[in-house]
Amino acid sequence: MRKLVLATKNAGKIVEFKRLLAEHAKDIVVLGLNDFPDMPDVVESGKSLSENARLKAKAISDFTQLPALADDSGLFVDALNGDPGIYSARWGDYLGEDSSQRDLVNINKVLEQLKSFAKDKRGAQFKAVVALYQPNPTGPANEKEAEGVLPGEIVFQPIGNAGFGYDPIFMPTGFNQSLAQLSPRVKDEISHRGIALRRMMPFLQTNL
């Protein structure tokens, strides 16, 4: 079986990636960072989603000596000049370890910032970059990245209990439900991560 380290401890992302990979490459065993408890934290010092994704993939591959797949994603709100963007995960300055509490703090900050904006001024996009770093003992490493974008808008209050992150306040274009209300199958089809991973899949199948 081929092994791939997914560069996250986020349980929601791991489930989502495993589900997508199982659909397209059933022989790939997905490991999370929880399988490598000694792995040091990677500082996301990049200035873009691409830089952060590549930085994480390389650092984790160097540590595990296995191919690593990393993503960096964010919510880009038009009325906030693209914020929270690459700072989406830490937008609310929550310092604890509870991911659900962090999500709530982040959501509340975005809603507070948009409270004076009408429905037609609440446009936003979810963007994701997925980067693969595969070590090669006989030559240059294999590197590849893919991007996915999901357009939509920010609703006025959280709706739905599925998903994670900003899903409860993001309504994709063409839908009348938030991402947190959609089934996993539908979300996989339209999500920014789903789009990026499907674009990455031919490379994974051929090179991993």
Catalytic residue IDs: 72
Pairwise CA distance, residues 173 & 56, whole Å: 30
Q: In whole angstroms, what is the distance from residue 76 CA to residue 26 CA?
A: 33
Cα–Cα distance, 130 to 199 (Å, whole number)? 9
Q: What is the CA radius of gyration of the chain?
A: 17
Reduce the DSSP state of residue 53 to 3 states and report it: helix
Residue type, 87: Y
Residue in the structure block whose two tokens are 């995960």: 89
Distance (Å, whole) CA 129 – CA 92: 22
